Structure 1
């Protein structure tokens, strides 16, 4: 199968591409940033933006299936400037779904693990991504060619995730690189809120497996009956994650574990929030969360990655 991967230069996409290639698929990497120099054998590049319906339709015409990842990310970032997320996450997804229906292509759409938060107030990212889920359901119900499976990963983490300020250039702060870089640098880990909120994390390789399984399932059987929720069996708090990161960084640096400090929650973040997944939905695509990488092992791999790839440059600066 030749797969169109929108947002194909992103973190999760990079792991999905590896999984697709490992299974013998080829792909068309669609992204608005030109990173064709990073292509592997079996990959082609299409420079385009999902907001451009013509570009999306042209790319889809050359493929047998779609994994739709392109999105504007961020919680408080999308509150202060909601228009880009609305244009990309809603209208961009509409362009993808319309092209998929035109060519009768099996499609997997990346939803959000905290989709329920749209009912109690959160950032435009969750609102817009959830609105696109509603569009996907409409296409499946009423449009010829509507073959869209929704996959909702919780917080994906692992090697390769971009680092935000003050340790990197990313505009969106993600929990694993933020905690890991601070701990490796010897700075206290900063946790927003009291840290008792539950924010489940899932290793990115398991997320990639779920997306590819979902696409292969949809190609044969059509969309799954329920959204596929990708996450761990056991839930943990943000404080638990911070402690695991601090302990692994201490092993690597030979220092005592760094302290964990608490900051006020940011706009769009909900006190006592619970972000978990219904892992029973994985059975629809032949997976079981019991086989996923355990959190302690995933954190070890992730902190090791930043120690090897990020820390030397930081210390040399």
Structure 2
């Protein structure tokens, strides 16, 4: 396995347990670096393109970086993959459904973007362009591509620095700080464990019928953010209070959120038999255990040995 990451939103500590593995090779560099990408593409059989600017906070604060990273990075990967005709799986996002009310979201449903003067939609639009480009490479240049739309992938080692809600809630709860819910907390999400998602990615990239297609990947266990905050508080045994912060104060004036984000995964299930193995409560317990281990400087073993073999 060859990994390329610039560590802009990650940490080298996340792969500490893998660095001595003989089949794992890590390069700290940018997806914009043509020579590096070309060299790595030449050495691999399949490319899983996950590199992106993510997290609502980062998107709102740095829309130029968001657009350039997501669009140009994908251009670089696809261009070099096409030279060698290496299969590419492109990671897109549930954000592309935007303001659509056709819940649960289907892959063939309409994408309803917000106004261009709302910076938060720059991420969704940039990832939609990635999808169009990947599928165009398949139709026009016969480069085998697969597109996946990820719905709130979570697990141990994820950080809350850029707006990831579960690690943010867990860290606040364990520290006895107020658990901050943006808006009224009625907005809903579906959280899938990273190991379940990775298993789906591996099966899709190996399946010939997935080429040229778009697939939702996520859980159908819907929960409001307000309920999530209370669940984190209960499972962690925290005495933190739960406070609500207006969107305009948390992000920017006029911020628009998606009221519901629920995937229809029937297409994925029909192809690879996808069914998430981990419940939301199990995910939260794993994340809480991980952050408790960080605080005690002892990482729980399950954080390094997820159920997935990937």
TM-score normalised to the size of structure 2?
A: 0.80
Greater shift, 122-131 or 299-308, is seen at 122-131
1:32 is aligned to: none
Uncovered stretches (5+) of structure 1, i.e. residues with no partner: 18-34, 165-171
2:107 is aligned to: none
2:264 is aligned to: 278
Is this contact kept in 1: 2:221–2:280, CA < 8 A? Answer: no
Is this contact kept in 1: 2:185–2:226, CA < 8 A? Answer: yes
Is this contact kept in 2: 1:199–1:274, CA < 8 A? Answer: yes
SS at match of 1:299: helix
Q: Deviations over 1:192-220 (max 9, x none)?
A: 00000012211111111111112111xx4
How far off its partner does 1:53 sit? 2.2
TM-score normalised to the size of structure 1?
A: 0.78
Is this contact kept in 1: 2:182–2:244, CA < 8 A? Answer: yes
Is this contact kept in 2: 1:75–1:269, CA < 8 A? Answer: no
1:302 is aligned to: 287
Mapping of residues 86-235 of structure 1, within 5 Å: 86-117=67-98, 119-121=113-115, 122-144=120-142, 146-164=143-161, 172-217=162-207, 220-221=208-209, 223=211, 225=213, 227-235=214-222
Is this contact kept in 2: 1:193–1:262, CA < 8 A? Answer: yes
1:22 is aligned to: none
Q: Deviations over 1:16-64 (max 9, x none)?
A: x9xxxxxxxxxxxxxxxxx898352211233431112232122101111
2:245 is aligned to: 263
1:60 is aligned to: 41
Matched residues in 2 for 1:47 and 1:36: separation?
17
Is this contact kept in 2: 1:74–1:125, CA < 8 A? Answer: no
Q: Deviations over 1:163-222 (max 9, x none)?
A: 42xxxxxxx1211110001001111210100000012211111111111112111xx445
Uncovered stretches (5+) of structure 2, i.e. residues with no partner: 99-111, 299-310
Matched residues in 2 for 1:101 and 1:205: separation?
29
1:14–1:42 CA distance, 2 compared to 1 (3 A): farther
Q: Deviations over 1:264-285 (max 9, x none)?
A: 1123853462112111122254
1:81–1:271 CA distance, 2 compared to 1 (3 A): closer
Is this contact kept in 2: 1:181–1:311, CA < 8 A? Answer: no
- From 45, 50, 57, the equivalent of 1:69 is 50
Matched residues in 1 for 2:203 and 2:10: separation?
18
SS at match of 2:94: coil
SS at match of 2:173: helix
Matched residues in 2 for 1:13 and 1:131: separation?
30
Matched residues in 2 for 1:200 and 1:312: separation?
30
1:5–1:86 CA distance, 2 compared to 1 (3 A): same
How far off its partner does 1:223 sit? 0.9
SS at match of 1:67: strand
Matched residues in 1 for 2:124 and 2:242: separation?
28
